[in-house]
Amino acid sequence: MEVPALIELVTALLSFVARLAVLLLGYGILGLAWAAVGVSTLTALIYVVLQRRDFFAPTLIWDRTAMRDIVPVAFPLMLNSLLSVVFFRFDLFILRAFGGEQADLLVQQYAMPYQILNIALILPPVITFAVFPLLARRALGERSAMYDAQNRTLQIMLWLAFPLAMGLTILASPLVQLFTRANFDQYGPSIAALAILAWFLPLSFVNGLLQYVLIALNRQSAITRAFLIGAAFNLALNMTVIPLATFGFQQPVWGIYAAAAITILSEVVLLLVFLPLLRQETLIPPFLQLSWRPLLATLMMGLAMQGAVMLPWQWWGYGLATALALPVYAGVLWLSGAFGVEERALLRRVRGKS
């Protein structure tokens, strides 16, 4: 699984660079569509080359018996992938519907932070694909070993997600300016939206892994129900709160902030639906034990970064904040006893060195 994880990482990076390039060149939505087609085609070609080299040349045949065996297992996975995409699209349509004359601008202001967040979202699939074979093997009977592997992987996810969320919150303004360049004046609301949306990352990282834990247990149909519940909650709350925020504050921009907060709440609902499924499998993670060290380190990192940002030389302050983030965070993690022998071994596995 290290090879698919690496391809996933390369594909995500290529997709980000291609999308950014077409936007900077002024090709707009049509350019984004062709960029997606190009990156997807390149990814398919890479897989074909690797399959021919390491296994056999692919051929097109219809095996009715194999299809009958595969479809019941694979169809929920396809549906889950579709629902996970739809999960974050309702708010865009509702913002447009209630945005009035500013509808197009509101959608652009809200979509802009996701361009930044998508970079951070490269990480969970890389980690999950690296440990999934281990989870799948241990799901066959070594439940205590699977529980241990799940929790140690969750620990790494939280080590990454909390500081990313804090860093994106404090550096939201310069990041939005970096991505919007000359149009920065039109994207003021994107700064607050990014600062809010950043905190869906820890939940997203956790849910992304727990989803694959359940897949390893062949519970993909239950995941489909969880996504349906999450999507229904997301749609209902967006339909209710975005109009209330827009008309209640008499400023359409409040719809953006409401949508960002609802995204976080939707991830909470998804986690709450996953927990009973994990309880049935005796795999409930010890969230407090796994979270307190990275949370403490993140708070110390945030204080150091905020102190640097408050310096009178704004851009120097942002640069100093960026430079301080990793040493402060890693130092507090180390002092709190986060890095043991087993954690270092798991990190090496995720990096593909074991």
pLDDT value of position 189: 95
pLDDT score for 295? 96
What pLDDT is recorded for position 51? 83
Instruction: Specify the pLDDT at position 354.
Output: 43
Average pLDDT score over residue span 178-192: 90
CB burial readout 333-348, b (16+ within 10 A) else e:
beeeebeeeeeeebbe
If pLDDT is split at 50, 70 and 90, which confidence band does 125 have?
confident
List the alpha helices (DSSP H) in the chain: 2-24, 28-54, 64-86, 90-98, 103-120, 123-138, 143-170, 172-180, 188-197, 201-216, 220-248, 253-280, 287-309, 314-335, 341-350
Most confident of 41-50, 59-68, 179-188, 232-241: 232-241
Highest averaged pLDDT of the listed ranges 14-18, 55-59, 115-119, 328-332: 328-332
**Is the model more confident about 206 or about 133?**
206
Task: Assess whether pLDDT exceeds 70 at residue 176.
Answer: yes
When pLDDT is averaged across residues 312-316 and rounded to a whole number, the result is 79
Picking from 207-216, 234-243, 309-318, which range would have the lowest pLDDT averaged per residue?
309-318
User: Regarding predicted confidence, which is higher, 346 or 269?
Assistant: 269
pLDDT band for position 344 (cuts 50, 70, 90): low
Give pLDDT, residue 11: 73
Q: 267-286: per-residue pLDDT in tens? A: 999 999 999 999 999 999 99
pLDDT at 244: 94
pLDDT at 121 over 90: no
Mean pLDDT over 63-71 rounds to 80
Q: Is the pLDDT of residue 32 over 90?
A: no
| pLDDT reported for residue 8 | 67
Q: What is the mean pLDDT of residues 168-192?
A: 92
Quick one: average pLDDT of 128-137? 85
Phi, psi of 59 (to 5 degrees): -135, 155
What mean pLDDT do residues 63-78 have? 78
Give the pLDDT of residue 221.
85
Q: For the residues 338-343, what does the mean pLDDT come to?
A: 70
What's the full length of the chain, in residues?
Answer: 354
Across the chain, what does the average pLDDT equal? 86
Rounded Cα gap, residues 343 and 329, in angstroms? 17
Residue 266: CB atoms within 10 Å: 25
Average pLDDT, integer, range 26-32: 69
Residue 131: strand, helix, or coil: helix
266 near 234, Cβ under 8 Å?
A: yes
Which pLDDT score, from 0 to 100, does residue 343 have?
Answer: 60
Contacts of 24 (CB under 8 A, 6+ apart): none
Contact between 255 and 93 (Cβ < 8 Å): no
Taking the C-alpha atoms of residue 33 and residue 30, their distance in angstroms, rounded to an integer, is 5
Express as a percent the part of the chain with pLDDT over 90: 46
- Across 170-187, average pLDDT: 90
